[in-house]
Amino acid sequence: MGRLFGTDGVRGVANADLTAELALGLSVAAAHVLAEAGTFEGHRPTAVVGRDPRASGEFLEAAVVAGLASAGVDVLRVGVLPTPAVAYLTGALGADLGVMLSASHNAMPDNGVKFFARGGHKLADELEIRIEDLYEQHRTGEPWARPTGAGVGRVSDYAEGVDQYIAHLLTVLPNRLDGVKVVLDEAHGAASRVSPEAFARAGAEIVTIGADPDGLNINDGCGSTHLEMLRAAVVEHGADLGVAHDGDADRCLAVDALGNEVDGDQILAVLALAMREAGQLRKNTVVGTVMSNLGFKLAMEREGIELVQTAVGDRYVLESMKAEGYALGGEQSGHVIVLDHATTGDGTLTGLMLAARVAATGRTLADLAGVMSRLPQILVNVPDVDKSRVTTSAELAAAVTDAERELGATGRVLLRPSGTEPLVRVMVEAADIEQAKAVAGRLADVVKSALG
């Protein structure tokens, strides 16, 4: 059996790859693994379970809740909420486990199961591996030992979670947003209710698009993966900025008043300077990934801020932050972690903090984001290849060496298998956009021929 967990939980096509049986079995396995690790020792365990609005989340939620309750875990169902809200509530309510059902930015037919440990932190790799192994062991072998009578878990709805999460966001906001006009694109996703309410309570004038989820339209032509509607709406309404989330709202991308994209690297740069000014940027360091734009690295060097780079995936950014005590980190894709206030990327919090910086300084977002210049960066996704052979193909290694020689010191090449999708990502940076396109196209062709 191949590994079930990727960089962000277990994902697949709902009811095909990710079945009710799998969701139930993983939930039971997670309960047993955490019990064995001592997480439940001395008390009756509790789990927080939330989901995004995908239609498949309804039956998968039922499967997860059934699995946990059958293993003796009491369940608080918080309904449709962003991933960071489920993480926050897991910590705030003192729960032993959190479960989020979402495939984030993926298309509607996909779904996923993401587990959080006590405190709202993502599970460690070794625990995920143990959950997989235990699930497989019981799927093909002996039945689970199950409690009976009063030992079974009880299930209840926790409607207060929405207001509790919004109150948390407003409490940690550095200043109000009065005088700032914001367009919010909610991707017909999990933040469709909480994000507009949070911005409005913070004093912003808001225009909301993509906030009518029907279970089928999540991420469909909107949100952080499709900024066209947001660009147009910001210009049309004369807004100061636009904020876009993905389906589970752990990401935030933005556009300035002219409709130009402000990506995760630029958001990190703006927040890094704001937090340093406020004395909150611990160790004068921000954490990014190997996908961070070279322009971001150069900007941080110029501003005298250290940049630590990790493997791609917000979990690895978070691991570095926790290990070294850093306060700010994130990814170009819009996962931004402010560790003093969140245990995972929080798109609503990020958008609020970005708008708060505009409000506090009176500067435009374009001016603030101008602290860094993005070098041309081309990303090509190559599907239907054997991504496990990226590091072992001699043909591919030779092509990368040739490309790096051509680019010299003014660019770089990065090839990596996707952690959430069956494809290989080819990234090329260069001082000239045409050169970056040409090199990326050649490398993509080699990936197809060498790994196809």
- Give per-residue pLDDT as tens, 390-449: 888 999 999 999 999 998 877 889 998 887 677 899 999 998 899 999 999 999 999 998
- pTM of the predicted model as reported, rounded to 2 decimal places: 0.89
Both tokens assigned to 106: 């993926």
- The catalytic residues are 104
**For the segment 75-126, what is each residue's pLDDT rounded down to a tens digit?**
999 999 999 999 999 999 999 999 999 999 999 999 999 999 999 998 888 9
| 2, pLDDT greater than 80 | no
Nearest Cα neighbor of 204 from 233, 173, 226, 230 is 173
Distance CA 11, CA 2 (A): 13
pLDDT for 408 equals: 85
Q: Which domains does the chain carry?
A: 5-159 (3.40.120.10), 163-369 (3.40.120.10), 377-451 (3.30.310.50)
Q: Classify the phi-psi angles of 393: left when phi > 0, otherwise alpha if psi is within -120 to 50, otherwise beta.
A: beta
Distance CA 177, CA 365 (A): 14
Q: Is 104 annotated as a binding residue?
A: yes
Nearest Cα neighbor of 329 from 375, 369, 292 is 292
Strands 155-157, 377-383: pairing kind: unpaired
Distance CA 369, CA 256 (A): 9
Both tokens assigned to 415: 């090839």
Distance CA 250, CA 234 (A): 22
Strands 261-262, 241-244: pairing kind: unpaired
Strands 241-244, 253-256: pairing kind: antiparallel
Distance CA 89, CA 98 (A): 8
Q: Is 250 annotated as a binding residue?
A: yes
Nearest Cα neighbor of 14 from 109, 100, 137 is 109
pLDDT for 388 equals: 85
HSE-CB of 184 using CA atoms within 13 angstroms: 31
pLDDT, mean of residues 145-174: 97
Contact 60, 99 (CB under 8 A): no
Contact 412, 377 (CB under 8 A): no
Both tokens assigned to 168: 């948390």
Residue 1 binned pLDDT confidence (cut-offs 50, 70, 90): very low
Nearest Cα neighbor of 377 from 288, 294, 264 is 294
**For the segment 8-31, what is each residue's pLDDT rounded down to a tens digit?**
789 999 999 999 999 999 999 999
Distance CA 66, CA 73 (A): 10
Dihedral sign, CA of 183, 185, 188, 191? negative
Q: Is 195 annotated as a binding residue?
A: no
Nearest Cα neighbor of 368 from 447, 257, 232 is 257
Residue 352 binned pLDDT confidence (cut-offs 50, 70, 90): very high
Residue holding tokens 């489920």?
A: 86
Contact 407, 360 (CB under 8 A): no
For residue 381, the cross-strand partners are: 425
What spatial distance separates the first Cα and last Cα of the chain, rounded to whole Å?
Answer: 21
419 or 326, which is more confident: 326
- The SS3 assignment for 366 reads helix
**Mean per-residue pLDDT over the chain, rounded:** 94
